[in-house]
Structure 1
Amino acid sequence: MKKTIQLTLPPEKGYDENLLLEEVRRKAKMPSADVRIMRRSIDARRSPVKVNIAAEAFLNEPLPELISYHTNFPDVSSAPEVIIVGAGPAGMFAALRLIELGLRPVIIERGKDVRARRRDLAAINKEHKVNPDSNYCFGEGGAGTYSDGKLYTRSKKRGDVQRILEILVAHGATEEILFEAHPHIGTNKLPQIVTNIRESILRAGGEIMFDTRVTGFLQDSSGMKGVRLADGGKRDGISVLLATGHSARDIFQLLVNSSIPVELKPFALGVRIEHPQALIDEIQYHCTGPRNEHLPASSYSLVYQARHQGIAKGVFSFCMCPGGFIVPAATHEGEVVVNGMSPSRRNSRFANSGIVVAVDAADFVDYEQYAELAGMHYQAAVEQRACQVAGGTQTAPAQRMTDFMKRRVSATLPDTSYQPGLMSVDLHEVLPVPVAARLEQGLRHFGKIMKGYLTNEAQLVGVESRTSSPVQIPRDKTTLEHVAVPRLFPCGEGAGYAGGIVSAAMDGERCAEAIHQLYARKK
């Protein structure tokens, strides 16, 4: 017998495993039932905060398998090869899917494996040294490895979200990601999961080349046949899957130089805002003093349409990291870029979120000479300006929030989670005028709907500029091949078709399946 149960519980029961199971059994009137939690979400619209639970209770029948995914892969060591450029979520999940389909993935990654990559991240934080091939954006697992590991996505029409979550669980992620409304893994746990995925690929006969940069594309009359490497070597395959991530500016330039069409794409740019986590908890959980100890650190999602010179554009929160840290995400010396991450427990005393403004071709007019790469050069110019204004290192420009609104340099700055340090500046000297103007309007609105949000206890840290790729690499909607180059499969965030770990992973799987279909037709 199986019963489906819906419950609304106080946090002390909704987040205590034993008490939660007791409540499900009591509601089901099955004292000895086995229980599986199907969904858990927080309702913080009013006080007191409640936890909504969906569960299944089973009596006199076994619990179904937690996940249907398995890692019993075929041996593809002698199978036809597919070249994958980039070992982020898109590239790694594409590799797993290719193995399932009987093809051999060869991943080419400019950065290092997750363990070796840690030393380069430490050098950015402590010594302000940026390795252009190994940093918070480049290396095994991509930008997602050292991030909050947020797994929420709206891209459910593009693939099977449950499958992606099950693959992560099969490689070491906690089972909670299968039922939390807003699942996350945590920057402390993601590296081991990425390592486990790598080991699955290698055990099945796949190949991963670290510290290897792609410097050219190899084409023949049938389309893309392989890539040229920085050491003078080359790798050929039946197709090339391009999954470089949103910061691979050299690859975008290489595509243009190789007469492979790319397109300008809108993105968003702004700052990362850091509040005391206790303040966000008070606002979101309607409490005074510390939040209920059973509740996770609270988050928020904000959006507003702000006008400048009569044109409305979105201002919105991006990659909100409760209980998290701000990290340096530059990929070259001479630029300052910030991003956010959280450990699995989200137990930092800081909350941070990108607050960014939509930008498009109208904002890039001063860079029109770069044609389809205008947005990329606009983005780089803002990052370089942030570096110059803050002293030329990885120290980031910062300003208290209400000081920004009043356009005055802050006399002091609050404590911060950003390890390379902050310099007090007027961020209007860093941000383009339309971005700063819309950001002011957005913050004023957010302060009205979240009482206490607009405060000098918070600070703006610049710049949050790598929200998504500044280019899109066009592909056929059906075959997923590049519109002008057969056998080239643009994929994931860098190509403009994803926005986060799950959507990138799903896009990687779709491209792997498209490659297999193409190969099957031509055999």
Structure 2
Amino acid sequence: MSTLVSLSILPNELENTDYILKAALKKAAINPANVADWRIRKRSIDARKKPVKMQLQVEIWERGDLRESLSKFESKDVSNAPTIAIIGAGPAGLYAALRAIEAGLKPIVFERGKDVKARRRDLAKINKEQIVNPESNYCFGEGGAGTYSDGKLYTRSKKRGNVLKALEWLVHFGADEDILVDAHPHIGTNKLPKLITAMREAIEEAGGAVHFDSKLTDLIIEDNKVKGLEINNETKYEFKEVILATGHSARDIFYLLHAKNIKLEAKPFALGVRIEHQQEVINYIQYHGETDNPYLPPAAYSLVVQIDGMGVYSFCMCPGGIIAPCATAQDEVVTNGWSPSKRNNPYANSGIVVSVTPEDLPNYTPDDPLVCLNFQKEVEHTCWVAGGRTQQVPAQRMTDFVNGVKSKDFPKTSYQPGIVSADLNKVLPDLIAKRLKKAFVAFGKKMPGYLSKDAVLHAPESRTSSPISIPRNSETLEHVEISGLYPCGEGAGYAGGIMSAAIDGINCVDAIAKKYAL
């Protein structure tokens, strides 16, 4: 057993390890001569008042204490093992494949997009030429949406599985051990591709396979059991177990399942805008004017308020970040945000979104599982039209939006395709725009200086989560009607980010292993 000690220190004291250890030993009343090892286990910022403090959890091992080593991926040769199909090479799919190898199963991964290296060329075309490849973009391709949209690893999903193990696997494949310490761990878009490549290579070295440019176009089902699948409208494969980890933007999969009368359900989601401030403004607000402290990282924020019966909240806040074009079709626009590992860009951006339930929508009927998806699509298409039918997005200064005035000009934006002035009160649906307007006023009171003419809204932020859930048995994790089909991750409605998706991938493989008594 180890001893855990909580400390509150100044940011400049974080690098003074001798001071930290001495303070922790004093607080725990431990004799320094008995210390075998120690580490900072958790680290977070307390900016509730001035001066800003660092909150630490220090773990100390005395002589005779047992210290567990980090979890590592345990590879084995599965070349001749029973096979399972995994649709999608995002975090859910990759973690499912790695866990399958540990369990003695051979994973065959089918990914509609390209590998991380080839994928970059398609991202460049979106940014520079405003051409969207529907199979290779910020959402589709090796590593999924997380690879090129920030790599935040924070999750509240403590009950869904072993979060620490999932983080430790990332360290095993090359991530910095800081992700095990920070309260809000983050890898960064610039570092993730190397990790994703290492994961794929481990899958292939163990005898598994990862196929790119391989889009699921049909599921072969007989007597309510999975028999196989079809890829790219031509090649058929036999599989008895299929993990469906296609992500929240694979709309063709939802339409495919619906056409085959496979049960789907509309689910709550959120929709709004992505707002951008100068990072120094957020630093000034959050650090109470303490902006010249080199030991403080770029500041983040988290906001939430109830407006007219709906929650409005910040989503995927990116300090020192960039706004990215995340459309998956040419006739829509979608925004998201990401940060490099150092978070050293001059802008801070965040989604500000309104919670929407199926019942909130004007054309809601209980028997239509696609109602939220279609609403989401309509907003993205309307914004595409308002932006000039390119990947430019309609935009508005925050104060102009609140006052109902079209912006005459803009400060510089990080969104590469560019922005077009529009009154978002008229572009966005009333149920979204009216609540956003009230929320910004409320947020300006919570964070004086947040409601600013220099902050710019980019519309829409619409892919916060899947607008559809694919129901599954809580014990077997199979679809409630189709044996052998495992709805998994964000696209199925069982995750809300990289870590929860990864954990769900592990859970689905564990269910298959249990089925086969492996």
Structure 2 counterpart SS, 1:6 = strand
Unpaired runs of 5+ residues, structure 2, are: 26-30
Q: Which amino acid aligns with 1:47?
A: K
In 2: Cα distance, 1:76 partner to 1:164 partner: 21
Deviations 1:330-388 (A, max 9, x none): 00001010000001111111000000001122343337599211111111111011110
Residue in structure 2 matched with residue 351 of structure 1 by the alignment: 348
Mapping of 1:9-408 within 5 angstroms?
Answer: 9-14=9-14, 16=15, 19-25=16-22, 27-28=24-25, 30=32, 34-58=37-61, 64=67, 66-67=69-70, 69-221=71-223, 223-287=225-289, 290-307=291-308, 312-366=309-363, 371-408=368-405
In 1: Cα distance, 2:399 partner to 2:405 partner: 9
In 1: Cα distance, 2:2 partner to 2:432 partner: 55
In 2: Cα distance, 1:287 partner to 1:130 partner: 42
Q: CA deviation at 1:321?
A: 0.5
C-alpha contact 2:24 2:58 (8 A) present in aligned 1:
no
Structure 1 counterpart SS, 2:490 = helix
Structure 1 counterpart SS, 2:155 = coil
C-alpha contact 1:302 1:446 (8 A) present in aligned 2:
yes
Structure 1 counterpart SS, 2:306 = strand
Q: CA deviation at 1:478?
A: 1.1
C-alpha contact 1:74 1:100 (8 A) present in aligned 2:
yes
* Counterpart among 438, 443, 446 of residue 440 in structure 2: 443
Q: Which amino acid aligns with 1:426?
A: D
Moved more, 180-189 or 362-371: 362-371
Structure 1 counterpart SS, 2:362 = helix
Structure 2 counterpart SS, 1:157 = coil
Q: CA deviation at 1:266?
A: 1.3
Q: CA deviation at 1:164?
A: 0.5
Q: CA deviation at 1:59?
A: 5.9
Q: CA deviation at 1:229?
A: 1.2
CA pair 391-70 structure 1, distance change in 2 beyond 3 A: same
CA pair 63-185 structure 1, distance change in 2 beyond 3 A: farther
In 2: Cα distance, 1:455 partner to 1:343 partner: 25
Deviations 1:259-287 (A, max 9, x none): 11111111100000101111111111101
Q: CA deviation at 1:477?
A: 1.0
Deviations 1:402-440 (A, max 9, x none): 000011111111111111111111112221011000111
C-alpha contact 1:278 1:291 (8 A) present in aligned 2:
no
Deviations 1:126-165 (A, max 9, x none): 0000000000000001001012211111111010100100
Q: Which amino acid aligns with 1:417?
A: S
Q: CA deviation at 1:255?
A: 0.2
Q: CA deviation at 1:190?
A: 0.8
In 1: Cα distance, 2:2 partner to 2:353 partner: 47
In 1: Cα distance, 2:93 partner to 2:331 partner: 29
Unpaired runs of 5+ residues, structure 1, are: none
Moved more, 216-225 or 170-179: 216-225
Structure 2 counterpart SS, 1:371 = coil
In 2: Cα distance, 1:20 partner to 1:421 partner: 46
CA pair 63-35 structure 1, distance change in 2 beyond 3 A: farther
Q: CA deviation at 1:238?
A: 2.7
Residue in structure 1 matched with residue 503 of structure 2 by the alignment: 506
Q: CA deviation at 1:297?
A: 0.8
In 2: Cα distance, 1:472 partner to 1:231 partner: 25
Moved more, 227-236 or 51-60: 51-60
* Counterpart among 411, 420, 425 of residue 422 in structure 2: 425
Identity of aligned residues (%): 54
Deviations 1:20-63 (A, max 9, x none): 34421454263886431111111111000000112134466799
In 1: Cα distance, 2:437 partner to 2:311 partner: 12
Structure 1 counterpart SS, 2:369 = helix
Moved more, 473-482 or 216-225: 216-225
Q: CA deviation at 1:519?
A: 2.5
C-alpha contact 1:270 1:355 (8 A) present in aligned 2:
yes
Q: CA deviation at 1:74?
A: 1.2
Q: CA deviation at 1:493?
A: 0.2
CA pair 24-133 structure 1, distance change in 2 beyond 3 A: same
Q: Which amino acid aligns with 1:216?
A: D
In 2: Cα distance, 1:233 partner to 1:280 partner: 52
Residue in structure 1 matched with residue 6 of structure 2 by the alignment: 6
In 2: Cα distance, 1:122 partner to 1:146 partner: 12
Q: Which amino acid aligns with 1:276?
A: Q
Structure 1 counterpart SS, 2:122 = helix
Q: Which amino acid aligns with 2:363?
A: D
Q: CA deviation at 1:64?
A: 3.5
Q: Which amino acid aligns with 1:5?
A: V
C-alpha contact 2:246 2:491 (8 A) present in aligned 1:
yes
Structure 2 counterpart SS, 1:158 = coil
Structure 1 counterpart SS, 2:277 = strand
C-alpha contact 1:112 1:134 (8 A) present in aligned 2:
yes
Structure 2 counterpart SS, 1:446 = helix
CA pair 474-60 structure 1, distance change in 2 beyond 3 A: closer
Moved more, 503-512 or 57-66: 57-66
Q: CA deviation at 1:66?
A: 4.7
In 1: Cα distance, 2:420 partner to 2:17 partner: 47
Q: Which amino acid aligns with 2:219?
A: F
C-alpha contact 1:401 1:456 (8 A) present in aligned 2:
yes
Q: Which amino acid aligns with 1:272?
A: R
C-alpha contact 1:25 1:33 (8 A) present in aligned 2:
no
In 2: Cα distance, 1:261 partner to 1:71 partner: 35
